[in-house]
Amino acid sequence: MYCTVVWLISFLLSGMVRIFGGPFVMGGGDEADEQPRRTVVVGTFEIDADEVTRAEYGRCVEARACGLPSVARPDDATSRLPVTGVTWSDADAYCRWAKKRLPTEAEWERAARGTDGRLYPWGDTADCARGNFGNYDGEGRCPGNPGHPVDVGSYGGELHDFAGNVWEWVADWYDATYYRHAPATNPKGPRRGVRRVVRGGACCSMLGLPRSSNRLAFPPDYRDDDLGFRCAR
């Protein structure tokens, strides 16, 4: 019992959540690139409870292991806002510096769906109060939501901001037809591509809903004010 408690305390202090491996149903959402819905098996992994903050990323910049984000702010050294304005390579470099890695697309969706295959990280019904999404300049599905990124940990339970706040880079190259021929165990995406996958939706996505299976992709050198990441291992 003592060893278990010590491990649990150490694990919680690490800022990561353990996701136990096994099968889950992936894809099958509203868009063609989420088809076909299929059973995928992933191994046990850990994933950051929060999106990487500006303060955390800044320490990597100070260590000369990460490139500068596109916008620097005076309070970055202490900011709890998610880091944004970073490329896929910046995100990958930070995770490696932190002795972690970017999650695969399958791992990200497994964490978002939970053990009961939820359509959204909180359940099966869209809810503006459960995530920072749906507002751009006071318009969209959720006009009362912030309309800009907010401090990490503002929404969610054990895992925070899996729906909305900022889009999150994951490890995989994007292929709209990948699910038709992807391996059923620990899929890691195509071997090459033009764009990298992002997951989770963002604050300023006016109309799209941040479903657990929703996919989007950008060129790996793309930057935006609502695009960040979290790490896994």
pLDDT score recorded for residue 95 = 98
Q: Which superfamily, per CATH, for 2-52+98-229?
A: paralog of FGE (formylglycine-generating enzyme) (3.90.1580.10)
pLDDT score recorded for residue 136 = 94
Q: Contacts for 137-146 with beta carbons within 8 Å, 24 or more apart?
A: 139/206, 140/205, 140/206, 140/207, 141/206, 141/207, 141/209, 145/203, 146/203
Chain segment 145-194, per-residue pLDDT in tens: 999 999 999 999 899 999 999 999 999 999 999 999 999 999 999 999 99
Euclidean distance between CA atoms 147 and 84, whole angstroms: 15
For 181, the token pair is 């021929």
Predicted TM-score of the model (pTM): 0.93
Query: Radius of gyration over alpha carbons of the chain, in Å?
Result: 17
Cβ neighbours around 206 below 10 Å, total: 15
Strands (E), 27-174: 38-42, 45-48, 167-173
**Below-50 pLDDT ranges, the chain:** 1-13
pLDDT score recorded for residue 29 = 87
pLDDT score recorded for residue 71 = 81
- At which residue do the structure tokens 């109309």 appear? 207
Helix or strand holding residue 217 (H, E): strand 216-218
The candidate with the shortest Cα–Cα distance to 97, out of 56, 153, 137, is 56
For 178, the token pair is 């990948």
Cα dihedral across residues 48, 119, 196, 71: positive or negative: negative
